[in-house]
Amino acid sequence: SRWFLGGPATLRGYPGGALSGEAFWRARGEVANAFPGARLALYTDVGSAGPRDGPGFPRPLWSMGVGASFLDGLIRIDCSRALRAPVGWRVDFYADGIL
């Protein structure tokens, strides 16, 4: 199977599929403070994907950003900065629902 990294679920700050491979690793760190009705967070994501059998993974992608969530995480907005090429800013908005 093939794994894809990038986008709000894996590497915020990068577009979906920025990296792909047969194997991957990733790590995420987040520091947050909760307020009535909202939660603010600073975060960083790092990860890489590559061949399962081979010389190793390519240089990892790294990002950092700030996010805010409301209604116990049902609504969230993240503003992320990709720190390795392709460098750039990305804003992601999530809305989750209860069925």
- pLDDT tens per residue, range 8-25: 999 999 999 999 999 999
Question: Residue 65 pLDDT > 70, yes or no?
Answer: yes
- Say yes or no to pLDDT of 1 above 90: no
> 86 preceded by cis ω (within 30°)?
yes
| pLDDT for residue 63 is more than 80 | yes
From CA 4, how far away is CA 65, in angstroms rounded? Answer: 21
Count how many domains the chain has: 1
Residues whose CB is less than 8 angstroms from the CB of residue 62 and which lie 6 or more positions away in sequence, other chains included: 44, 45, 46, 82, 83, 84
Domain coverage including residue 75: 3-95
Read off the pLDDT band of 62 (50, 70, 90).
Answer: very high
Say if residue 70's pLDDT is above 90: yes
Amino acid at 63: S
